[in-house]
């Protein structure tokens, strides 16, 4: 039965909001405790469309690269003669969670082979992995690829409790502790030091050994100063040369730096820098899908500039790290924005091909001798196996699995938090009591989320439910044990900012929480006064006819150009003050792959006119003509589908003058 306090909690729910929580005692002294603690890998399992998406991924490149791609099949990390640097660790960083979330014996066996080799071939002094890549391309004993392998190893240990992992990581970090005294961080590892520090923290929380914090401080001192970088971004314009400081992936990885620094310092200024870093990148290089441009260096806000797929998945992991230390619900908003838009966008629907870069306005994907990119090559936006460069082929795998494993986290006040929403099942214990939570939803394609909470016996704990900043209104209803209790009628709420709503009852038996978000279509002003249309966390793009032409390779992992078969250069006929009158939303239940343009469960109908003067420039859409625009072309009904489903797309539209 619910305690009487629960009735008060539900009634006063509308006012409940939290950005941070009191510290817990989960971390040893010397390291700021996490506000949200991720659950061990496997505690949260995907369901519904999300599980289907992971299955598609496993049946595509992710589950098969080791069978044919030399840099994985013959990797130096298993004693081979191909690349022995970052590519196998990148692949494993995504394959480990993919294998254990799907509980797939075949994928687990693949993981085991690589883990066994790494753990049984550690050097006497602790070095982990190849001394140098057999290709001769990279410096010997480079810590960067090992940082990535450590991320894979920590996930593997959480899933399997393999007793070899903690001693192996301890031995390696002691080796590194000695090495950086004589040979400071350099090149990529100097820019990406924060990823290595994460594993030092992970080990410190298991052992409490103070030398690990000394190592973390040394790495911070020797590494690039990302806090100063984001405080006054030195690259506010499109960058025309390759360099580390404006490299899109380095910056995406660096977004987690404020969380890493905050855990050492406890300084509010470090925590605030997490928000400032995102705001700064948005201001100068932000793209509609929540990412920022970089093809391969910062490229400004024009929607035809590209963003590397590695940056998408690394931005997601940075957000998953930020919210653990800082607990700002806005980080959950951005996590969903990128996961539901930018993450599925660069993949062929069967996930047997990927783009090196995606574009918000992408009416064509073809070999481009003349191109809009800063430093990328002519095949950068093709869908293929290794087009432009192979790092994304290795690193793309972590996006969906880590998103799934971070949907729920433990909170510092002894409860559980819904950091992001997708169909899933959570199994854990709270105060020694078994607790299961099932999330039943088609979100983000629908507006209702059903959360079923079941406990082995009565237990009191808070449930933190993230309310997105875009959700200005909605309802929440709570029922228990099959009966309407504690105000079973839906409670309406209205608010302006992202927040966590807290339910703090005595949970007993079976309980159900129903969140319903109002999802009106909304318009966002973008580059040249263009607009993008949103519904919930989904951006919508013009559905363009696609002609897929194989230009190289063997199926299923061939390289493809995608050419348009329908016009794309439209301006929208909308009055932003009366937007609801200008659009029609069509929905259906999720079936199949919601990120396949032929199967997407939601679309928007809107009218527009072609703008003949808006044409292709450097094999990309020219900048949208400044709005408002005029056109004498006939009015047409346009179909918009989710950004991530549209493999060719226009997302930032000029707007016609209101007649």
Confidence at 496, pLDDT banded by 50, 70, 90: confident
Q: Does any domain span residue 360? A: no
Q: Does any domain span residue 577? A: yes
Looking at the fold, whether 195 and 83 belong to one and the same domain comes out as yes
Helices 257-265 and 211-222: crossing angle, nearest 10°? 130
Contact call for residues 376 and 295 (beta carbons, < 8 A): yes
Of 290, 282, 392, the residue nearest 335 (C-alpha): 290
Q: Does any domain span residue 441? A: yes
pLDDT digits (tens, 9 = 90+) for 2-21: 333 333 333 334 333 433 33
pLDDT digits (tens, 9 = 90+) for 139-185: 999 999 999 999 999 999 999 999 999 999 999 999 999 999 999 99
Contact call for residues 649 and 544 (beta carbons, < 8 A): yes
Contact call for residues 293 and 300 (beta carbons, < 8 A): yes
Confidence at 27, pLDDT banded by 50, 70, 90: low
Q: Does any domain span residue 267? A: no
pLDDT digits (tens, 9 = 90+) for 172-227: 999 999 999 999 999 999 999 999 999 999 999 999 999 999 999 999 999 999 99
Q: Which residues pair with 499 in a beta bridge?
A: 467
The residue segments making up the domain with residue 161 are 64-222
Q: DSSP letter for 340, please.
A: I
| Cβ neighbourhood burial of 21 (10 Å; 0-12, 13-18, 19+) | buried
Contact call for residues 107 and 64 (beta carbons, < 8 A): no
* Residue 487 pLDDT > 60: no
Q: Does any domain span residue 315? A: no
**Residue whose structure tokens are 């061939």:** 558
* Residue 485 pLDDT > 80: no
Looking at the fold, whether 14 and 81 belong to one and the same domain comes out as no
DSSP string for 574-634: --GGGHHHHEEEEE----S-TTSTTT-SEEEEEEEEE-TT--EETTEEPPPPPSSB---SP
Looking at the fold, whether 178 and 110 belong to one and the same domain comes out as yes
pLDDT digits (tens, 9 = 90+) for 351-402: 999 999 999 999 999 999 999 999 999 999 999 999 999 999 999 999 999 9
Interval 537-562 mean pLDDT: 99
CATH (domain of 478): 2.60.40
Q: Does any domain span residue 410? A: no
Looking at the fold, whether 488 and 531 belong to one and the same domain comes out as no
Let me know the angle formed at the C-alpha of 317 by 313 and 319, rounded to the nearest 5 degrees.
115
Interval 476-504 mean pLDDT: 77
Q: How many domains are contained in the chain?
A: 3
Compute the distance between CA of residue 523 and CA of residue 574 in angstroms, rounded to an integer.
10
Task: Quote the pLDDT of residue 495.
Answer: 81
Looking at the fold, whether 497 and 527 belong to one and the same domain comes out as no
pLDDT digits (tens, 9 = 90+) for 248-282: 999 999 999 999 999 999 999 999 999 999 999 99
Domain C-terminal end among 169, 197, 222: 222
pTM listed for this prediction: 0.95
Contact call for residues 182 and 134 (beta carbons, < 8 A): no
Q: How many other C-beta atoms are found inside a 10 Å radius of the C-beta of residue 204?
A: 22
Looking at the fold, whether 495 and 554 belong to one and the same domain comes out as no
Q: Does any domain span residue 442? A: yes
Compute the distance between CA of residue 383 and CA of residue 61 in angstroms, rounded to an integer.
12
Helices 143-160 and 87-102: crossing angle, nearest 10°? 10
Task: Quote the pLDDT of residue 659.
Answer: 74
Of 391, 401, 379, the residue nearest 558 (C-alpha): 379
How big is the chain by its Cα radius of gyration, in Å?
24
Task: Quote the pLDDT of residue 580.
Answer: 96
Task: Quote the pLDDT of residue 135.
Answer: 82
Domain C-terminal end among 222, 237, 270: 222
* Residue 239 pLDDT > 70: yes
234, two tokens: 């030195």
Task: Quote the pLDDT of residue 490.
Answer: 80
Looking at the fold, whether 541 and 609 belong to one and the same domain comes out as yes
Looking at the fold, whether 124 and 213 belong to one and the same domain comes out as yes
Looking at the fold, whether 80 and 216 belong to one and the same domain comes out as yes
Looking at the fold, whether 186 and 200 belong to one and the same domain comes out as yes
Rounded to 10 degrees, the C-alpha dihedral 610/614/616/617 comes to -170
Phi, psi (rounded to 5 degrees) for 501: -90, 140
Task: Quote the pLDDT of residue 19.
Answer: 38
Mean pLDDT of the chain: 94
* Residue 522 pLDDT > 70: yes
Confidence at 134, pLDDT banded by 50, 70, 90: confident
Q: Which residues pair with 354 in a beta bridge?
A: 347, 384
Task: Quote the pLDDT of residue 432.
Answer: 97
Looking at the fold, whether 203 and 71 belong to one and the same domain comes out as yes
Looking at the fold, whether 120 and 145 belong to one and the same domain comes out as yes
Q: Which residues pair with 606 in a beta bridge?
A: 583, 638
Domain C-terminal end among 194, 222, 250: 222
Compute the distance between CA of residue 315 and CA of residue 257 in angstroms, rounded to an integer.
12
Q: Does any domain span residue 101? A: yes
């Amino acid at each position: 039965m619910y305690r009487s306090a629960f009735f008060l909690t539900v009634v006063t729910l509308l006012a409940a909001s939290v950005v941070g929580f009191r510290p817990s005692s989960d971390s040893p002294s010397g390291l700021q405790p996490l506000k949200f603690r991720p659950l061990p890998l496997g505690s949260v399992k995907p369901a519904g469309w999300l599980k289907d998406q992971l299955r598609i991924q496993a049946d595509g490149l992710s589950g098969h690269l080791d069978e044919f791609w030399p840099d994985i099949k013959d990797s130096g990390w298993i004693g081979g003669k191909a690349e022995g640097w970052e590519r196998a660790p990148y692949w494993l960083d995504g394959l480990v969670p993919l294998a254990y979330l799907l509980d797939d014996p075949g994928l687990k066996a693949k993981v085991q082979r690589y883990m066994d080799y790494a753990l049984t071939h550690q050097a006497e002094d602790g070095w982990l992995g190849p001394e140098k890549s057999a290709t001769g391309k990279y410096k010997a004993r480079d810590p960067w690829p090992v940082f990535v392998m450590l991320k894979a190893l920590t996930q593997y240990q959480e899933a399997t409790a393999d007793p070899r992992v903690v001693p192996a990581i301890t031995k390696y970090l002691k080796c590194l502790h000695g090495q950086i005294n004589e040979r400071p961080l350099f090149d990529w590892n100097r820019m990406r030091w924060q990823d290595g520090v994460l594993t030092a923290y992970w080990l410190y929380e298991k052992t409490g050994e103070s030398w690990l914090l000394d190592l973390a401080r040394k790495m911070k001192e020797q590494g690039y100063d990302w806090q100063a970088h984001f405080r006054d971004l030195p690259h506010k314009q499109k960058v025309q040369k390759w360099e580390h400081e404006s490299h899109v992936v380095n910056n995406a990885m660096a977004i987690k730096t404020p969380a890493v620094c905050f855990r050492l310092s406890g300084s509010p200024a470090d925590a605030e820098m997490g928000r400032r870093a995102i705001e700064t990148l948005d201001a100068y290089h932000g793209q509609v899908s929540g990412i920022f441009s970089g093809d391969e260096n910062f490229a400004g806000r024009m929607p035809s500039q590209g963003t590397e797929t590695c940056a998408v998945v690394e931005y997601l992991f940075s957000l998953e790290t930020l919210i653990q230390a800082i607990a700002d619900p806005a980080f959950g908003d951005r996590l969903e924005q990128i996961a539901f838009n930018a993450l599925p966008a660069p993949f062929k629907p069967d996930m047997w091909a990927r783009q090196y870069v995606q574009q918000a306005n992408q009416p064509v994907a073809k070999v481009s001798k003349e191109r809009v990119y800063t430093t990328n090559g002519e095949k950068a936006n093709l869908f293929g196996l290794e087009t432009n460069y192979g790092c994304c082929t290795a690193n793309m795998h972590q996006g969906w699995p880590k998103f799934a494993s971070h949907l729920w986290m433990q909170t510092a006040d002894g409860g559980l938090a819904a950091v992001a929403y997708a169909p899933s099942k959570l199994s854990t214990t709270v105060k020694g009591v078994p607790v299961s939570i099932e999330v039943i939803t088609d979100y983000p394609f629908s507006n209702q989320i059903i959360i079923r909470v079941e406990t082995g016996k009565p237990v009191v704990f808070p449930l933190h439910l993230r309310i997105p900043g875009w959700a200005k209104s909605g309802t929440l209803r709570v029922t228990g044990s099959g009966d309407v209790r504690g105000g079973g009628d839906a409670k309406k709420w209205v608010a302006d900012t992202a927040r966590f709503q807290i339910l703090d009852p005595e949970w007993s038996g079976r309980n159900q929480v129903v969140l319903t978000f109002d999802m009106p279509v909304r318009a966002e002003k973008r580059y040249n006064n263009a607009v993008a249309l949103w519904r919930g966390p989904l951006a919508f793009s013009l559905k363009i006819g696609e002609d897929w032409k194989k230009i190289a390779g063997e199926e299923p992992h061939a390289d493809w150009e995608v050419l348009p078969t329908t016009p794309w250069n439209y301006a929208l006929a909308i009055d932003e003050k009366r937007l609801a009158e200008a659009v029609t939303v069509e929905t259906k239940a999720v079936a199949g792959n919601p990120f396949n343009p032929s199967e997407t469960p939601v679309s928007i109908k809107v009218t527009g006119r072609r703008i003949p003067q808006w044409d292709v420039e450097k094999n990309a859409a020219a900048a949208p003509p400044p709005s408002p625009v005029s056109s004498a072309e006939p009015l047409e009904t346009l179909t918009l589908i989710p950004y991530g489903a549209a493999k060719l797309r226009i997302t930032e539209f000029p707007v016609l003058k209101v007649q």
